[in-house]
Chain A
Amino acid sequence: MSDHEAMEGSVAAWVLGALDAGEAEDMRVHVEGCASCSQAAVRLRRAAVALPLEVEEISPPARLRERVLVAAAAARSSTLPSAPARKKTVAATPRWKPVATIEVGRFYAAAAAATVLLALLVGLVAGALVGRNSVTPAPPQVARFTLVGHGSLSGARGTIIDLKNDGVTLVDFKGLPALAKGKVYEVWLITPGGRPEAAAVFVPDSNGAKVVLVSMPLSGFAQMAVTAEDGPDGATAPTQPPQLYGALA
């Protein structure tokens, strides 16, 4: 029996991923040199990849969108240290997107978002390191600032991670007191002139922790602050002096 005759019968299994690794490698080598099997593989693969279309769509939980976004932003910052700085196209009105919060305290420790986010939070960010050490410094891609709690929020801390190239910022909050019913924490970005802009609302988990995604660039702002406001949407301006704040420089 020729090689072709032996292999031909398994092309369908191959495109379905149903060969063992060794068999698949043999098939790959054969298909490269066999026009007939190669044609069959292309034709059958197009049928195989249509199989998932039979499935009825299911809307995933809304948090998955944020997980994907954050994982992507973090991965990009850590894997593309020398990418050119993103062209600034911010017009007179800043890019104003609805902000959202993400859950990272999931049980699936291997989940990519948690992993890359953790790497980011402990400072293993290639972009920052490269920017510091190389002969011609690359523009900084990630900046970190700290929010410090005072008064009733004296036990609270926030670490701001500005993913400059992606125009988003992560804020890792810890030690926040539980909120009164119906209240949310609101994140404010404050201009050098002292004008606050609402940037995000969130409710911390039972440990007082939360990673919040701020979907707007920090440029043009001097400070970040946090107040407790009425939920679910927060206020348009702070209704009390902030007790958790820090400078963005």
Chain B
Amino acid sequence: MVLAAGNQDALLELYDRYAGLSYAVAMRVLGDPGRAEDAVQEAFLKIWTNAASFDSKKGSLRTWLITAVRNRSIDFLRGRGAHEREELELQPDLAESHRSDPWREVSLSLERAAVREAVGSLPAEQRQAVQLAYFGGYSQAEIADMTKVPLSTVKGRMRLALEKLSSYLQGRGLMDV
């Protein structure tokens, strides 16, 4: 499937594969079906209009799409325009420095079970810190305020959470870093 060709079958294939996950992520952030639909639509449209630079063989398409859904959802949530803030963006190094998507080799359900288990195994305050950032769109300073801990503590929790998640997934062969 080469989306770069701009063919609609590729777009629909992508949609059929990832709409459920995209919509779930948007719903998790927004909790509102109408706005979640809009966020998902805009993310797919963004992929479509930038299709020339995408080729799913590089494997980054899903990550890119879900990241776009997340970013758009956070924009809606906080009433921001797309360019008013720092986006959680997929850097080119991630898309291109790996020959294959580590996720692509394994079925989605396996990956998700592993991620759920890994996130579930984090201490509650670490899990909360990364989830407030990813699904809530809060900055580390805002999270420090909300959870009434020093900023340095929030930084430490985020770092520990992602390091643990990373080694857990690597240990399961789900990450080829």
A positions within 8 Å CB-CB of B: 9-13, 15-21, 23-25, 38, 41-61, 64-65, 67-69, 71-73, 75-76, 79-80, 83, 106-108, 110-113, 166-168
Chain A interface SS verdict (over half) = helix
- Check if A20 sits within 8 Å of B139, measured CB to CB: yes
Shortest Cβ distance from residue B114 to the other chain A in the assembled complex, whole angstroms: 8
Across-interface contacts of A50 in B (CB, < 8 A): 111, 115, 118, 165, 169, 174-175
Give me 9 A-to-B residue pairs in the complex whose CB atoms sit less than 8 angstroms apart, sorted by A's number.
Answer: A13-B139, A17-B134, A53-B115, A53-B116, A56-B24, A60-B20, A60-B22, A75-B49, A111-B38
- Check if B6 sits within 8 Å of A83, measured CB to CB: yes
B163 within 8 A of A: yes
- Best-surrounded residue of A11, A72, A168 (most CB of chain B within 10 A): A72
Across-interface contacts of B93 in A (CB, < 8 A): 38, 42
- Best-surrounded residue of A9, A23, A60 (most CB of chain B within 10 A): A60
- Check if B163 sits within 8 Å of A44, measured CB to CB: yes
Shortest Cβ distance from residue A107 to the other chain B in the assembled complex, whole angstroms: 7
- Check if A54 sits within 8 Å of B112, measured CB to CB: yes
Interface residues on B, range: 35 or more
* Given A17-B134, A49-B67, CB of A108 within 8 Å of CB of B35: yes
B positions within 8 Å CB-CB of A: 6, 8, 11-12, 15-16, 19-25, 27-28, 33-38, 40-42, 44-45, 48-49, 63, 66-67, 69-71, 74, 85-91, 93-94, 97, 102, 108, 111-112, 115-116, 118-119, 130-131, 133-135, 137-141, 143, 152, 154-156, 158-159, 161-163, 165-166, 169, 174-175, 177
Across-interface contacts of A73 in B (CB, < 8 A): 8
In the bound complex, how far is the Cα of B33 from the Cα of A61, in angstroms?
9
- Check if A49 sits within 8 Å of B86, measured CB to CB: no
- Check if A19 sits within 8 Å of B140, measured CB to CB: yes
Residue of B nearest to A16 (CB): B133
Shortest Cβ distance from residue B132 to the other chain A in the assembled complex, whole angstroms: 8
In the bound complex, how far is the Cα of B169 from the Cα of A17, in angstroms?
21
Specify which of A10, A52, A69 is in contact with B134 (CB 8 Å cutoff). A52
In the bound complex, how far is the Cα of B161 from the Cα of A15, in angstroms?
12
Specify which of A46, A48, A72 is in contact with B88 (CB 8 Å cutoff). A48
Across-interface contacts of A80 in B (CB, < 8 A): 6
* Given A18-B138, A55-B25, CB of A12 within 8 Å of CB of B162: yes
Specify which of B28, B37, B63, B131 is in contact with A60 (CB 8 Å cutoff). B37
Specify which of B21, B35, B86, B116 is in contact with A17 (CB 8 Å cutoff). B86
